[in-house]
Amino acid sequence: MCKVLIADDHPVVLLGTQTYLTARGYQVVGMCGNGLEAYNQIVTLRPDIALLDMNMPGLSGMDILQKLNQEHLTGKIKIILLTMHNELSLFNRAKELNVKGYLLKDFAMDELEKCLQEIQAGNTYFSKHLAQRLTFGQTGHTQAGLDQLTFAEKKILELVSQQKSTREIAAILFISEKTVETHRSHIIKKLNIPPGKNALLMWAMKQKE
């Protein structure tokens, strides 16, 4: 029987996922409400599959994936990440870290069983609903600026393009609003965007056209 660990900071989602999996013959060996607890239980219980929410207190799903990858455990423990946002940089980073499944929460229950089946068969499964939110121009000047951005800055730029406010970005990434504003200033400088009200948002939206 396939052993699964679930981590989500929303109790209703946690219980609903447990019920869903148990009804389909999976053994739920752990249920966690925060990332640090999830990481410790994964290392201790060694489930076959860990189903992790991307945004959790303590450690994010991505943080856990990175730690497990560094410890060479992602080959033995298959990780599925669930997220509310289809941010391209996060998806690409997850693939680099050997994630086996990547689902959007809005469609997770429709795809979870298929995802689990594919992973048990030795394959990967990435949500069919994933789409690139940003399509950046590939001209030399713009691409050179984008290449200068850090991983955190790219995440913030994608959230800006989704018209998220500084407060919303801070909440999503678990950082302060002041840190978001600092990153935004660095992005504007690196991309050589002319100053002005909502300059970064207008630039990001233009790249999506």
Domain ranges of the chain: 3-126, 140-207
Q: Angle at Cα 94 formed by Cα 16 and Cα 21, nearest 5°?
A: 20
Higher pLDDT, 121 or 162: 121
CATH class of 140-207: mainly alpha
* Class of domain 3-126 as given by CATH: alpha beta
Q: What mean pLDDT do residues 191-208 have?
A: 77
pLDDT at position 133: 43
pLDDT above 70 for 142:
no
User: What integer pLDDT is reported at residue 36 of this predicted model?
Assistant: 92
User: What confidence category does residue 144 fall into, taking pLDDT thresholds of 50, 70 and 90?
Assistant: low
**Class of residue 196 by CB neighbours under 10 A (exposed 0-12, middle 13-18, buried 19+):** exposed
Q: Which residue has the higher pLDDT, 127 or 87?
A: 127
Each residue's pLDDT tens digit, 1-60: 899 999 998 888 899 999 999 999 999 999 999 999 999 999 999 999 999 998 888 888
Is residue 71 classed as helix, strand or coil in its secondary structure? coil
pLDDT given at position 51:
96
Q: Is the pLDDT of residue 138 over 80?
A: no
